[in-house]
Chain A
């Protein structure tokens, strides 16, 4: 898996311009190039939407906290990094 080193004040990488469709809280993303379809969970969908080239990791975490009851002690930044890495491995983010 890709290693993502992302500080709270850093901007999330930019997503590729792929077509997405909501299904409840989840997002269905089609990668016409690879022919693959990805279902992003509700939390991954928030992070995906934050990959707009402007939102920082801290702002993304705020959005997640506003949507979910995040237990105290959760390393949310680590979760955001892991999801960004997963999105990158699936080819859903623009190459730097």
Chain B
């Protein structure tokens, strides 16, 4: 440890380093006392790397604490900010405070009852080595949203003929499978986890990452699940990380259609939905820097006013992909 506050570090100093990332029109920095962690981030997010920017006013500090622990500090305008406030919105409902008079411990229901995170002051310490990257990513996402210049949706993002297709639904709804089916129809696929919109102009940025398919999705696409190497980020939930294909075109920024996945059926059905219904559905999947429901509903209303919205029942993936393509074709003859 250098003893220098991470917020004040130059690009390299005293064994500590920092890198700069640009995402969704924002430049931020990540500093760490372990250079290999930054190299891992550089390898994982090469398209986000940015040259050092003195005006990058927020960032994360990553300190290794020994025994596999990771302490994450967040900074805004050079001052530490309190990461423990990140659980204020409904999007963090998977995290549960563990009763303890002396410590602020949290578990995550996806990973069992064991403490995953401890807050000490405003810093977050990740207690499970296997979840370090995930928690660092969640902290990074929170930091992006904290400035209230972005809103995040849990969604898969693809594009066909210059129009983005945003597939919205909870885990297991079929987003990734459908995104892969659309890729097989020639669509660019950007990711299956997060879509961000800038405020106030609602330009779209997808968090690029490989699709992760469950066995049922592989079956539905006619793949051979025995030939695949599965991994379990969550216990009992095996997934296949589909090799990432770099998109042919950048993600369209201001042409999109939002599809709310509403279950499975024999045949795919797509119907436009009214603004109020779309906003109500949308607000359930929004993450934002403030927990205020009305502010989130206003953002949802703005989004549905800007982009067409449909309710989608998924049939066979290939047929559903064809139905989506037909809808987009009618919108953009």
Contacts and interface: CB of A to CB of B under 8 A. Distances in A.
Interface string A32-48: 00000101011000000
B294 A23 contact: no
A42 B305 CA distance: 14
Interface of A is mostly: strand
Interface stretch (B127-135, B180-188, B276-284): B276-284
Contacts of A26: 274-276, 279
Q: How large is the interface on B (under 10, 10 to 19, 20 to 34, 35 or more residues)?
A: 10 to 19
A89 B304 CA distance: 29
A10 B293 CA distance: 37
Contacts of A37: 293-294, 297
B294 A22 contact: no
A23 B293 contact: no
B301 interface: yes
A24 interface: yes
A62 interface: no
B300 interface: yes
A30 interface: yes
A22 B279 CA distance: 10
A39 B280 contact: yes
Contacts of A28: 276, 279, 297-298, 301
Most B CB within 10 A of own CB, among A22, A23, A24, A28 = A23
B276 A24 contact: yes
Nearest to A27: B276
Q: How large is the interface on A (under 10, 10 to 19, 20 to 34, 35 or more residues)?
A: 10 to 19
Contact of A22 (B278, B280, B293, B301): B301
Contacts of B278: 23-24
A21 interface: yes
B276 A30 contact: no
A25 interface: yes
A23 B282 CA distance: 12
Nearest to B282: A23
Contact of B279 (A23, A41, A42): A23
A81 to B, nearest CB: 23
Nearest to B273: A24
B276 A21 contact: no
Interface string B259-298: 0000000000000001110111000000000000110011
A16 B298 CA distance: 19
A21 B299 CA distance: 10
Contacts of A23: 275-276, 278-279, 300-301, 304-305
Interface in A15-73: 21-26, 28, 30, 37, 39, 41-42
Given A23-B279, A24-B274, A30 B294 contact: yes
Given A23-B300, A24-B304, A28-B301, A39 B276 contact: yes
A95 to B, nearest CB: 23
Most A CB within 10 A of own CB, among B276, B293, B297, B301 = B276
A67 to B, nearest CB: 14
A39 B294 CA distance: 11
Contacts of A24: 274-276, 278, 304-305
Contacts of B294: 30, 37
Interface string B290-325: 000110011011101100000000000000000000
Nearest to B300: A23
The 4 closest A-B pairs by CB, nearest first: A24-B275, A23-B275, A26-B276, A23-B301
15 contacts: A22-B275, A22-B301, A23-B276, A23-B300, A24-B274, A24-B278, A24-B304, A24-B305, A26-B276, A28-B297, A28-B298, A37-B297, A39-B276, A39-B279, A41-B276
Given A21-B297, A42-B274, 10 more contacts: A23-B278, A23-B279, A23-B304, A23-B305, A24-B274, A24-B304, A25-B274, A25-B275, A28-B276, A39-B276
Interface of A: 21-26, 28, 30, 37, 39, 41-42
